[in-house]
Amino acid sequence: MASPASTVKLHNRSVAPEPEPTPVAYQAWLPYWAVLEADFLQVFSSWVYRSWILVAATMAIGLFIYRWGLYNEAKIIQPASHVITHLLRGILMGSVALVGVIAAGAIAGERGSLADSILSRGISRYQYYLGKWHGRLLAILLGHVLLGALTVGGTRIILHEDVTLEGGMVAIFISGAALAVVVSLGVMMSAMFARPLAAAAGLWVLLYAAGLIFGAMPHSIPTPEWILQKLPFILKGEYTREMVVQVVLYAGGASIGSAIFGMALFARKDL
Amino acid sequence: MAENAADDPVVETVQLTKIYQNRHIALNDVTLKLERGCVLGLLGANGAGKTTLLRLIIGLHRPTAGVAKVFGEEMSPNSAELRRRIGYIPTNPRFPKGMTPISYLDYMAKLFGLPRDVRKPRMGMLLRAVDLLGAGGTQIDTFSNGMTARLAVATSLINDPDLLIWDEPTHGLDPEARRSMLDLIKGLSREKTLIVSSHNLNDIDEVCNHAAVLSHGQLIYSGPLHDLKSRMRRNHFEVDVDGDQKAVTRALATIKALGDVQHVSLEHRRLNLRLQEDAVATATLGQVFQVLSEAKLTLIGIRSVGQQTEEAFLDLVEKEEQRGFTRIYRQAA
Ligand SMILES: Nc1ncnc2c1ncn2[C@@H]1O[C@H](COP(=O)(O)OP(=O)(O)O)[C@@H](O)[C@H]1O
Ligand SMILES: [Mg+2]
């Protein structure tokens, strides 16, 4: 076993030297996992994340109660897929704003002496970026799946309405893919700007510009608006495999592309 | 991990230059070589560029021009393997919120890729060595300056590095903590190569054998420490005398007239004596004692007045600029 110093003396204590028989077998990807784990836990305990979950969950529960009351009092039946679409839409829009803030804080939020103490160790900028990116993705997608499951499950169990289980899962999956793009772009912005607020502002400008460009495009590619319009049908189980594959391909491509761009940039940046 | 030839310098910078935002030249054309086993004191006033140089060496910054090599290989932000052999302490280290020394050290050890069976025993050993074993589970937020400094020391040793880069490790420490920090550096210098930056010459003087002096981003000196010290000649003395007051006043007038004396004043029975820049101190003091002896005064004591280190620096910097630092620089290289 190696010892950091054969004689470290401080406060009149000394540590006896130890022999150093074998060289250390470094674990090449351990730094990545360490950053990912730390980032995941950090996001999980942050107030932005908690308020996101809280606000979205409250919205969902509020709507359930309203609809349940409506059903019991007036026997008015609305197709559930409509409600959920509205809900998911609201949750997604609200989520994009908050998730943008969470993602934009990934790297920019650590700038200064904190990032120093991490990046001065045996970790490359690439691994740090990957760890941060995946940490945020994991935390946010986990939150999204929880919220989605709450919404879909609640509707099916409490309101017994026309949402199929499979359709619900696909809807959560597809909207999650869209959210992943937002997270990836946010982390990319986070690597480009020195302050979280500037990164968030940059992300919103980027998303707004993307929205304008998508609006001018034919509906042959799955734009966010197109996905939102399709959600009621997806929830009822009316979707094709190709559609899902296409969304995943586009979302994956956008996410990975932005990450590669962000990493290339971050690797040449001063801290 | 490539083990390089033992004769490669541990750190080598070639014409290293850093310009911030195309506006501020923080480091200009620094060429420096550090051999294995050296303890280099990096000196310079605040804003001289010490931190910039160290951050370039550790790969937190990218040079605007020139290269920084560590263990014979060029350092870059992605040189994870090179940094495995370096232990770094930034000025005023800060720690993530809500962590304890144990969780922090474990995190840092993971960032080096150290497997569990290496990092766990090391953590315990280091916490004991820096006397933080009892506080191992306490939140770092509650720590005193001395305790955070000790934790930073333990962190910089977790990877058993060959090269230690400590940026102003004595900054903000009380005398006792500063004392143990200097002792620690002395102990470590027996087997590691060290770079310790400071704006305090006394600290460097005590623990280093080599020195590099930065001024406004320029390297104005690099070489053995004792050579540097011999450049900072002392020319300010206090002489305590006893005897007849009139004789003292008379002697004062005579000393004032001596060619190499720049300034002399009397304060009770103490002569405050400042020699010309280029005076030979022994010769001038000989003349002064001659005068005192002729005036039948008794010598009670003589002291060379230590300049404030900050002042000594500025002095040195000024002197070197006047003489043309390029000459010194070539000599030292
Ligand atoms: N990130 C930065 N951007 C712009 N200027 C900087 C930056 N870091 C340092 N400087 C400037 O560069 C000069 C050298 O700074 P520094 O290396 O920190 O000096 P020292 O550590 O010797 O006090 C200072 O004038 C400082 O203001
Ligand atoms: Mg500094």
Residue A20 in this model has a pLDDT that exceeds 90: no
Closest atom of ligand 1 relative to the B53 alpha carbon: 17
**Distance between CA atoms of residues B178 and B169, nearest Å:** 8
> From ligand 2's centre to the CA of B201, what distance in Å?
15
- How far, in Å, from the CA of A96 to the mean position of ligand 2? 40
Confidence of residue A1 (pLDDT cuts 50, 70, 90): very low
- Higher-pLDDT residue of A189 and B325 is A189
Cα(B282)–Cα(A112) distance, integer angstroms: 52
Pocket of ligand 1 (CB under 6 A): B 20-21, 24, 26, 44, 46-52
The pTM (predicted TM-score) of the whole model is 0.83
Contacts of residue A25 in chain B, CB cutoff 8 Å? 115
- Alpha-carbon span B180 to B168, nearest angstrom: 14
Give the mean pLDDT of A4-16.
43
Say what the pLDDT of residue B333 is. 46
- The whole-number average pLDDT for the span A214-235 is 75
Measuring from atom 12 of ligand 1, which residue has the nearest CA? B26
Q: Stretch A236-240: mean pLDDT, rounded?
A: 85
Contact B109, B157 (CB under 8 A): no
In the reported structure, the alpha carbon of residue B56 is separated from the centroid of ligand 2 by a whole-number distance in angstroms of: 13
SS3 B263: strand
Q: pLDDT tens digit string along A179-216?
A: 999 999 999 999 999 899 999 999 999 988 888 887 77
- What is the DSSP-derived secondary structure letter of residue B307? P
Backbone angles phi, psi at B26, to 5 degrees: -90, -25
Q: What is the mean pLDDT of chain A?
A: 83
Chain A: residue nearest B158 by CA? A4
Which of A33, A35, A120 shows the shortest C-beta gap to B83? A120
Task: Calculate how far, in angstroms, residue B199's C-alpha sits from the geometric centre of ligand 1.
Answer: 14
The reply to whether residue A4 touches residue B158, judged by beta carbons under 8 angstroms, is: yes
In this predicted structure, which of A168-177, A225-234, A241-250 has the lowest mean pLDDT? A225-234
Cα–Cα distance between A205 and B140 in angstroms, integer? 39
At residue B263, does pLDDT exceed 80?
yes
> What mean pLDDT, rounded, does chain B reach?
87
> Of ligand 1's atoms, which has the minimum distance to the CA of residue B18?
12
Instruction: Return the pLDDT at B1.
Output: 44
Residue A2 confidence (pLDDT): 42
* Whether the predicted pLDDT of B101 surpasses 50: yes
- Kind of pairing, strands B65-70 and B39-43? unpaired
Between residues A124 and A233, the one the model is more confident about: A124
| Count of pairs with CB atoms under 8 A, one residue in A, one in B | 156
Spatial distance between the Cα atoms of A124 and A218, rounded to a whole number of angstroms = 42
Q: B213 CA to chain A: closest CA distance, Å?
A: 24
Q: Exposed/middle/buried for A242, CB within 10 Å: 0-12, 13-18, 19+? A: exposed
Determine the atom of ligand 1 nearest the C-alpha atom of B214.
Answer: 22
The model's pLDDT over A115-152, given as tens digits with 9 standing for 90+, comes to 888 999 999 999 999 999 999 999 999 999 998 888 88
Give the residue on A whose Cα is nearest the Cα of B117.
A1
pLDDT of residue A34 exceeding 80, the answer is yes
Q: Is pLDDT at A63 greater than 90 in this prediction?
A: no
Contact B115 A267 (CB under 8 A): no
**For position B5, what pLDDT does the model report?**
56
Q: Which tokens go with B252?
A: 């004062």
**Chain A residues lying within 8 Å of B113, measured CB to CB:** 26-31, 122
Cα of B180 from ligand 2 centre, angstroms: 21
Q: d(Cα B180, Cα B150) in Å, to the nearest integer? A: 10
Residue B20: closest C-alpha in chain A: A270
Which ligand lies nearest to the CA atom of residue B168 in the structure?
2
Mean pLDDT, to the nearest integer, of B131-154?
92
Measured from the Cβ of residue B18, the count of other Cβ atoms closer than 10 Å reads 24
pLDDT digit string (tens) for B164-217?
999 999 988 888 889 999 999 999 999 899 999 998 888 888 899 999 999 889
Q: Which residues pair with B261 in a beta bridge?
A: B275
Chain-chain contact of A7 with B107 (C-beta, under 8 angstroms): no
On whether the CB atoms of residues A175 and A95 are closer than 8 A, the answer is no
Chain centroid to Cα B331, Å, comes to 21
Cβ distance A122 to B83 less than 8 Å, yes or no, reads yes
CA–centroid distance, residue B14 to ligand 1 (Å): 20
Q: If you write DSSP's letter for every residue of B194-223 in order, what string do you get?
A: EEEEES-HHHHHHH-SEEEEEETTEEEEEE
* Cβ pair B235, B276 in contact under 8 A: yes
Task: Give the distance from residue B31's alpha carbon to the nearest chain A alpha carbon, in angstroms.
Answer: 21
Question: Is residue A3 pLDDT above 50, yes or no?
Answer: no
User: Is the pLDDT score of B3 beyond 80?
Assistant: no
- Residues of A within 8 A of B93 (CB-CB) are 113, 117
- DSSP conformational letter for A265: H
Q: Rounded CA gap, B255 and B277, in Å?
A: 17
Instruction: Give the per-residue pLDDT at B315.
Output: 65
Q: Are A126 and B191 inside 8 Å of each other by CB?
A: no
Among the atoms of ligand 1, which is closest to the Cα of residue B199? 22
What's the N-to-C CA distance of chain A in angstroms? 34
- Of all protein residues, the one whose alpha carbon is nearest to atom 1 of ligand 1 is B20
pLDDT of residue B34: 95
Q: Which of B70, B110, B183 to mutate to test the interface with A (most CBs of A within 10 A)?
A: B110
Look up the ipTM and state it. 0.83
